[in-house]
Amino acid sequence: MEHDLGRLKRKPVKATGVALALMVYQTWGVIYSDIGTSPLYVLNGIWPSSGPLPSKDDVIGGLSAIIWSLTILPLRFGTGEGEGGVFALFQGSTPKGQDYARGRTFLRFARWPLTFWGLFGTSLTLSDGIFTPAVSVTSAVGGLGVAKPSVLNQVTGISIGFLVALFVIQRFGTSRITAVFSPITFIWLALIGACGIVNITSYPGVWRAVDPSRAILWFVRTKQYDLLAGVLLAVTGCEAMFANLGQFNALSIQIGFGCWVYPCLILAYLGQGAKLITDGPNVISNVFYTTIPGGHNGALYWWLIASQALITATFSLTQQLINMKSLPPFALVYTSDTIQGQIYVPAINYTLGLVTIIVVAAFKNLSNLTNAYGFAVATVMFVTTSFIAIQIYIVKRGPMLLAIAFLLTFGFFDGLFFGAALKKVPHGAWVPLSIGCFLVIVMMFWTWAKGLEDQFEGKNRKNPRHFIVDSKKLKSADAQSVHKDVQVEELPSNRPANDVAEASDTQSDAVVDVFDGLKFVDPATQEITQLSRLPTCAIFHNLNAGRGVPHSFYAFLKQVPALPRVVIFLSVRVLPLPYVRPEDNYVVTKVRSIPGFYGVVYRVGYRDDFNPSTEEIVRLACDVEARADPANAMNNVAEMHAAARQTSRIIPHYDVISKRIEVGWATPILAFVRRFLIEEIYRRLAIMFPETGNWGVGNEKYV
């Protein structure tokens, strides 16, 4: 068990049989409540009720464009960890290591442009999470006005009420939400598909829309490129299929879409088109609701559905951004014992809900709201295509011609949609663009500033043998001689579990007795200070993996020239398991070069409470000490237990200060801007969102 836990990595969720069928069922409630609500507004997005009535050929051409957009654009791509979305593609497109030597020169020079491009696409996906529920709820409530005209004066208020309820229930987690949404979405798709079949009988010739040439002829004949912005609304939700990959898996998403969602949507659009051809003047005012069979005020008029897809996708993207340190470490709550990707982010949920309500209140015109909605989707699809092309060549090791062909083919379609959506910027699309620009600035800033802090920590991690020496080994005043031949020793921040055996079975002959003189040598000044040994225990939290001890320990010795009797460097590793057995929680190793030093890896499941036990750590350290030095085991263990009665925890925290960079005449300006960003903004935010922000969050289990 120990060895298996040491090698565990997060992988895509695998499911077969009943488990896979259940996962497919759950996708309907989360992922497809977005693209499934598109028939509410797509045809009126192409042909507004205030505009001229389209001809029969125009309707068939528009339907053809919708059908083939739904066929071509949904993507199938993910990462080795089972995540999806633009940011997951960005991570996979900028790999490290010898396995990805191809394209390394390109990645080195294009690192920051790719970072910006990936974060820009991600920020627009997050922006999309605001407009998706807003459009779906507002469209559904507005449609009720067909059955009850008095509702038209209360659309905003009713929509806000539904949105409040939608965001409040997010805390219950994906599984419980799907228990409510999946049957609703399944029945919704069945009903719109059935309505489509009934409506198609009024004009069976509408099936000619399956011919892709009809779409091409439509654009050639009308010469109205802007119509693509309306067609784009039919594929809003494709980005949600990809971004929600971490909540489910690729196979369940593919089966859910291909076997149920896709045919129901095609039938719904064809049915609406058939009625628009045969009864255009009576249905153009609201194509969806006026084409429902059975007359006005039927049961289906009161069937409300809201989009859940981009809300859960936003949670998944936030988790990826936090893990890659492109966002502050907001609290994450894992809501499933079986799927690690099913999470809830309280701060993001309520912020998203508040902004969505503001958008609904501000956009009185549904047409402007859909314009804003489509722009974000078009941009995300274009960014996604570009990163897939990079992955084909660099990660998948495909031929460059294949990558270029993919980029040109799918980039052509995405570019058409993007260009059409770009024309909508003055008519509402400026809102998601502004939100996206704000978010990308925040994420780029945090990525840069946090990277500087981590770079400082990495450069200042030191081998303890370089500054703590045995007085018997110290030759004259030349401190350099102490470590000329010393190789760097790596603390076991992420070492495999078999390190326990290795540390227990081998003991360096150079280890001195605890009470022998140890001295601190300042590498910068060569000043030598005698270290006293205190009968206490100190736990230094090792937040970042790497060689040597954290800089916080070195800084501690410079300020307090004394060593605790027991020094523990504690690292945390979250395993891709919901819970870890208590006997598997700790991996303890002895630092052989200095007596009383131990490295500890605290392993927890993603739903475990964060509660490292000092008593248990000391007990395991005593066991390691006893095996390593049986002759002195009794005395050493007694001293360690006595020291553990006075335990201090040291968590690294840096008061960041901007470093002056000489760039000629612009140095004063750059120094001022850099100092303001780092010392006035990042420093304050880092205090508000510490690295330890998620410690203890495991106590909040909502399912």
80 and 24 inside one domain: yes
Residue 559 lies inside a defined structural domain of this protein: yes
Which residues have CB under 8 Å from 465's CB, separation 6+? Answer: 482, 483, 486, 489, 593, 594
Give yes or no: residues 471 and 532 share one domain: yes
Token readout for 178 is 């799907």
Task: Among 393, 419, 448, identify where a domain stops.
Answer: 448
Q: Are 218 and 61 in contact (CB under 8 A)?
A: yes
Q: What's the token pair of residue 136?
A: 């779906």
Element (H, E) at 519: strand 518-521
Closest by alpha carbon to 74, among 343, 262, 303? Answer: 262
Nearest to 31 by CA among 106, 119, 132: 132
Assess contact for 344 and 702: CB atoms under 8 A: yes
Token couple for 341? 């990707």
Do 201 and 307 reside in the same domain of the chain? yes
CA distance 595 to 610: 28
Separation CA 603–CA 3 (nearest Å): 13
Shared domain check, 643 and 666: no
Instruction: Note the pLDDT of residue 230.
Output: 85
* Same domain assignment for residues 301 and 332: yes
Please give the radius of gyration of the chain, using alpha carbons only, rounded to the nearest integer: 30
Helix (H, G, I), strand (E, B) or coil at 212: coil
Question: How many beta carbons lie within 10 A of that of residue 489, not counting itself?
Answer: 17
Q: Is 674 contained in some domain?
A: yes
Amino acid, res. 422: L
Strands (E), 616-684: 647-650
Cα 342 to the chain's mean position, in Å?
11
In a domain, 503, yes or no: yes
Which residue carries 């784009």 as its tokens? 232
Q: What is the pTM of this model?
A: 0.80
Structure tokens that stand for 667 in this block:
């140095």
Task: Report the pLDDT value the prediction gives residue 305, as an integer from 0 to 100.
Answer: 64
Residue 298 confidence (pLDDT): 56
Structural domain of residue 640, as residue ranges? 464-650
> Which residue stretches of 169-290 are H helix?
173-200, 213-222, 227-232, 238-243, 250-256, 262-278, 280-283, 287-290
Distances (CA, A) of 579 to 341, 343, 698: 15, 15, 11
Total domains present in the chain: 3
CB 105 within 8 A of CB 425: no
Residues 496 and 618 in one domain: yes
Q: Which residues pair with 490 in a beta bridge?
A: 547
Asked if residue 483 and residue 342 are part of one domain, the reply reads no
Q: Say whether both 402 and 503 belong to one domain.
A: no
Check residue 12 and give its pLDDT: 64
Q: What are the tens digits of pLDDT across the range 21-37? A: 888 888 888 888 778 88
| Domain end marker among 383, 418, 448 | 448
Residues 6+ apart with CB under 8 A from 598: 566, 567, 568, 569, 588, 589, 590, 591, 617, 621, 624
In angstroms, the first-to-last Cα distance of the chain is 28
Residue 489 bridge partners (DSSP) = none
Q: Is residue 431 part of a domain?
A: yes
Q: Say whether both 254 and 284 belong to one domain.
A: yes
Residue 374 lies in a domain: yes
Q: Where is 600: in which H helix or E strand?
A: strand 597-605
Residue 474 sits in the same domain as residue 441: no
Q: Residue 78 sits in a domain of what CATH number?
A: 1.20.1740.10
Residue 454 lies in a domain: no
Alpha carbons within 13 angstroms on the beta-carbon side of residue 305 total: 29
User: How far lies 465's CA from each of 471, 523, 594, 636, in Å?
Assistant: 12, 11, 8, 22
The answer to whether residues 495 and 524 belong to one domain is: yes
- Three-state secondary structure call for residue 536: strand
Instruction: Please name the residues in contact with 668: beta carbons below 8 A apart, sequence gap of 6 or more.
Output: none
Kindly give the parts of the chain with pLDDT less than 70: 1-13, 73-85, 94-104, 145-147, 240, 295-307, 364-367, 471-516, 545, 692-703
Pair of tokens at residue 361: 């209140």
Distance CA 277, CA 42 (A): 16
439, 347: one domain? yes
From 633, 650, 667, give the residue that closes a domain. 650
**In this structure, what token pair is assigned to residue 660?**
């002056």
Domain assignment present for residue 458? The answer is no
On whether residue 681 sits in a domain, the answer given is yes
Joined tokens for residue 230: 């309306």
β-strand partners of 605: 575
Q: Can you give the pLDDT at residue 632?
A: 84
